[in-house]
Homo-oligomer: A and B are copies of this chain.
């Protein structure tokens, strides 16, 4: 693979020096949920790097052949075992430093039969004062949780879009 600007393009791309195929690198979508149960939010403690041992909302890379809603349901089930009713999109946050866009949906946990998937050490429900704010894995997750508790307090959930710029 070599890096060069293909004909008619404006940016350098990775090009296979054997077959000439262009491998475009574009930002990836990370899709997940804010699963709520009564006054609590479900969080997963990560069993994988990066941020092993830290708490996160269930989320992961959207895969080909699925919609954002399907990705959100799949990742929630894979990481937390939770069956949820999916609601509206809640936050969409660009993270240009790592070429990602994080998208979280609201979701309602349907029963208490959840259990950690292979990528989680534990899964638990937290009321706002009990959220482990200092041990949240990613800034997009902390921001999403703050919007969620703020909106719930205000009595109206709305859609929040934003960016995480390098500190």
Contacts and interface: CB of A to CB of B under 8 A. Distances in A.
A94 interface: yes
Contacts of A99: 64-65
B159 A62 contact: no
A26 interface: yes
A112 to B, nearest CB: 26
A89 B27 contact: no
Nearest to A164: B67
A13 to B, nearest CB: 10
Pairs A-B, 9 closest by C-beta atoms: A67-B94, A64-B99, A67-B163, A159-B159, A26-B28, A89-B161, A68-B94, A27-B62, A67-B96
Interface string A84-120: 0000110010101001010000000000000000000
A39 interface: no
Contact of A25 (B29, B64, B96): B64
Contacts of A156: none
6 contacts: A23-B23, A26-B64, A27-B29, A29-B29, A65-B96, A67-B163
